[in-house]
Structure 1
Amino acid sequence: MPEDGGAADPALLQDALRGFVRAFGLHQPESTPCGQAIPVSEAHALGELAQEGELRQVELARRLRLQKSTVSRLVGQLTVRGWVERAPAPDDGRGVTLRLTPSGQTAAYHLADARREKFARLLDAIPPDERAGVLHALGVLTEALDE
């Protein structure tokens, strides 16, 4: 057995991530892990727009790590819901600027509130002396995915 007790086994990482994805509800793309009946991608887009106030569509694609065509469809869905409005970018006629409508701001607020409650419960379920390690491990995993 390896010195790390088998922890370097890719199958162990795969199993651990699979379990996390399922437990957190990420395999259910039509609702958020917080239990809101909105696709996860739409929730992330609303969150980014609520945080920034206004974003170019290409910047939203970069932040969400999605293809431009995927974000274009996503923005179309949010526009149909009445949550996002598009406008030509002031400095580039080909660019598109996005901002939340008042109903989009309300939806984003409710999502953020549900997310805060979910993460507060989740954090409470992690033993206090393990919280820093969990946060560190998530950061390391994110960095590894970025490489």
Structure 2
Amino acid sequence: MAEQAQYEELARQLSAIGAVKRGLGRILPPECPAGSAAVLTLLGRYGEMRMSRLAELLSVDMSVTSRHVAHVADRGWIERCPDPADKRSRILRLTETGHAQLDELSLRTSRLLSDRLGHWSDDEVGLLIELMGRLRESFGDCRSPQRAPAHPPPYATDVSEPTTRTPA
């Protein structure tokens, strides 16, 4: 198991991921903000799906998912078709225009990563991919109830211990 100092450094490094995400966000076309790009990416990766499944994959509330879906649908990048199994639900799928937009996003992202990580070896990039996947998997679904930590944080107090008060 890693030492406390390693976890502290990991926390510092993870906080710096925001800079990476902002850099990736700056290359997105103005008409395709990050939430829209995420919708297109997930539909491209997993294929057509219901809005509820998309919300799970995005790890956001249905209201947030609905706004993202409305944005991409308004641009003609996805279509919302009735679900044959449940006419109240809609199946989301990429359109031809949506596939083209996703291809453009992928090209922009690949170019940026190639530019920034071009001096890394293939093995280093592969290791980063593997470790980031494991990290994400360790956190599971961000919307599900958090499980109790194996070890309480150092600032936690045990309320079962008696306390003594000094008279005032």
- Please tell me the TM-score bracket, short chain as reference: 0.7 to 0.9
Q: How does 1:1-40 map to 2 (within 5 A)?
A: 4=3, 6-9=5-8, 12-22=9-19, 24=20, 26-27=21-22, 32-33=24-25, 35-37=27-29, 38-40=32-34
Give a deviation string over 1:40-75, Cα, whole Å, max 9, x none.
111111112223442211111111112111111111
CA shift in 2, pair 1:8/1:53, >3 Å: closer
Contact 1:42 1:74 in 2 (8 A): yes
Size of the alignment, in residue pairs? 138
DSSP-derived class of the 2:118 partner? helix
> What's the TM-score, normalizing by structure 2?
0.68
5+ long unaligned stretches in structure 2: 141-146, 148-168
Contact 1:57 1:97 in 2 (8 A): yes
CA distance in 2, matches of 1:128, 1:76: 39
Does 1:42 pair with 2:36? yes
CA shift in 2, pair 1:53/1:65, >3 Å: same
The residue identity in structure 1 corresponding to 2:134 is V
Displacement of 1:104: 1.5
> What's the TM-score, normalizing by structure 1?
0.77
Q: What value does the CA root-mean-square deviation take over the aligned residues?
A: 2.6
Displacement of 1:133: 4.2
Q: Which has the larger radius of gyration?
A: 2
- Which has more helix, going by share of residues? 1
DSSP-derived class of the 1:6 partner? helix
Instruction: Tell me the percent identity.
Output: 27
Contact 2:54 2:65 in 1 (8 A): yes
Give a deviation string over 1:113-137, Cα, whole Å, max 9, x none.
2222233334423355644543343
